[in-house]
Amino acid sequence: MSTHVAKPEDLLPLNPVDFQVLLVLVEGDSHGYAIVKEMRTRTNGQIDLLPGNFYTILQRLLRAGLIADVGLDPDSNSPGRPRRLYRLTDFGVEVASAEAARLRDLVAGSAVRALAAKARIS
């Protein structure tokens, strides 16, 4: 049962790690280890989470209604316990889209343009 708020903007700005999880799940369902591995690759190792930290993040995203647990991976060939799959919810897509728009507007802002101009002068 999700406890999400009525408007995606109410959750902004997103924590950068939360946003990265949502971006990975935009591409399809995935299990925890694959999400962590993809985030590490996409950020050139800047985001490299320990399992305990990552599962705390997953629980937060689940409670907010941004992702859903869709059960065990039927194609999992990993030894040990079967892996759980996570999926981006419709609300998660709305929130991720709102965050992307917020970041786009931030980067397009006058302060960033002034900073870029100043960097070209130096």
| DSSP alpha helix (H) spans, the chain | 16-26, 32-42, 51-63, 90-107, 110-121
Q: Which of 54, 51, 61 is nearest to 22 (CA)?
A: 61
Residue 34 domain-assigned?
A: yes
Q: What order do you get walking across the sheet with 84-88 strand by strand?
A: 30-31, 84-88, 67-72
CA–CA gap between residue 44 and residue 34 (Å, rounded): 15
Q: What is the CATH number of the domain that holds 110?
A: 1.10.10.10
CA–CA gap between residue 32 and residue 86 (Å, rounded): 8
Domain count, the chain: 1
* pLDDT value at 21 more than 80: yes
Q: Tell me the per-residue pLDDT of 30-62, one tens digit each, with 9 for 90 and over.
A: 999 999 999 999 999 999 998 889 999 999 999
CA–CA gap between residue 122 and residue 16 (Å, rounded): 30
Q: What pTM value is reported for the model?
A: 0.84
Residue 58 domain-assigned?
A: yes
Give the range of the structural domain holding residue 17, as residue numbers without chain letter: 13-73+81-121
